Chain A
Amino acid sequence: MKGILADVNCDGHLKNLLLVWVRPEWHGLWQPLQLQCFFFEDFGISRAAQDDDVWRFCQRESLVLLTGNRNRDGEQSLDAVIVRETSTITLPVFTIGSMQRISTDRIYLETVVIHLLEYLIDLKEKPETLVGAGRIFLPKNAAAGN
């Protein structure tokens, strides 16, 4: 795993998470992961790209996708490509349960920050646990934020 790719509507959200991870009390947990944060423009990915193309790009480049994807089910949807093509070596996709609460609810933001960091550390340390997991919703219960 080389890094995290922010979906086109997750740019600001990933930047918000990163602002927390680089704080002094978090830095020692974030820095050893040696993960880079990427945005669509870094790779020239079209903002009209289909979900399945984005997912395949992430797998090819060894990136986990951070998304708030709420697309309707369909042949090219994220859910469809995950069901069709997830294997024991594919990296998961992290889906933020409530995109708007990241910007308006500090407790929700911190919950997402902690859970995602724990999963990223685990992916670096013991990749076999979460590779092949498909889509992972953050946090556990989006409605309650816990």
Chain B
Amino acid sequence: MIPEFREDGRIFGTRISVYDIIPYLEGGRTSMEDIAKYNSLTMDELQTGLQYIDTYRDDVMRINRAIDERHARGNPPEVQAKLDAIHERFQRFWTWLAQRGYAHPGAPGRPLPPNSLFRLLSEFDAEESMSVRNGAA
């Protein structure tokens, strides 16, 4: 039975919509079994979704494009500015850890001692503040 068109595109009985499935189909590198598994769908439910996409292709793809555009806009500038500041601080922190021989994301080294992360972050911040003060003096 072909499901009735609904704007939200949800697969009956789940919180998964056809818009969750489409990127996997477009990517072309995921098997149907894996698409079902990743989205916690049965193969029957996935088939229902695929049939829905086929039946209402133009409307579904129009809505999907709008969702893609919304996602591509990403974070609001004020949130992105905070995220950038966090990321930049950690980039400096990872370098600081590497200089002390510690492992950090993507680089081998000594493991951090248990529960030392926040203490090391405080030391790092204190050193950064001191070098800023010394630079300003």
Q: B-contacting residues of A (Cβ < 8 Å)?
A: 7-9, 11-13, 24-29, 31-33, 47-51, 54, 68-72, 74, 95, 97-101, 103-104, 110, 113-115, 117-119, 121-122, 124-125, 129-130, 133-137, 140-143
Contact = CB atoms under 8 A, between A and B. Distances in A.
14 contacts: A7-B15, A11-B38, A12-B37, A12-B38, A29-B104, A32-B117, A33-B117, A47-B40, A69-B20, A72-B17, A119-B83, A121-B121, A133-B79, A136-B75
B50 interface: no
Contacts of A97: 71, 74
Given A104-B29, A140-B84, 4 more contacts: A31-B115, A99-B20, A117-B105, A118-B87
Contact of B112 (A28, A101, A137, A141): A28
Contacts, number: 151
B6 to A, nearest CB: 9
Contacts of B118: 32, 124-125
Interface of B: 7-10, 13-17, 19-20, 23-24, 27, 29-30, 34, 37-40, 63, 67, 71-72, 74-76, 79-80, 82-84, 86-87, 90, 102-109, 111-118, 121
